[in-house]
Amino acid sequence: MRKNSTKSAFTLIEMAVVLFIISLLLLIVIPNVSNQKKHAGSISDEALKTELTTQRQLYLSDNPEATSVSLEELQAANYLTASQVKQIREHKLDEG
């Protein structure tokens, strides 16, 4: 005769329900993370654009004979760092 052993374990239906709940949570979380990343990128771009505008105004104020200034001139005069100039070019934030 066989003894009936009672082992506690998940049934296939319980596992399917758990996987379904996890997949629903992922469907909710992943798009939100993606949107937050895009939003953070746009805020960063705006901050860099403001920095560029401010540094241009400061350069033109310090050099009244100049009527315009390029990114290279701002970098050479230490108004912008090389990494800022690189980011400005990558994100095409230099409107002139």
In a domain, 3, yes or no: no
Give the 3-state secondary structure percentages of the chain, helix then strand then coil, rounded to 5. Answer: 70, 0, 30
d(CA 62, CA 7): 81
In a domain, 82, yes or no: yes
- Give Cβ neighbours of residue 88 (< 8 Å, ≥ 6 apart): 48, 52, 71, 80, 94
Q: In terms of pTM, does the model score above 0.85?
A: no
In a domain, 25, yes or no: yes
Closest listed residue to residue 68, CA positions, set 95, 33, 93: 95
d(CA 41, CA 91): 10
In a domain, 49, yes or no: yes
Domain containing residue 22? 13-90
Confidence band (pLDDT; 50, 70, 90) for 25? very high
pLDDT for residue 87 is more than 70: yes
Q: Report DSSP state, residue 79.
A: S
Split into its structural domains, the chain has a count of: 1
In a domain, 47, yes or no: yes
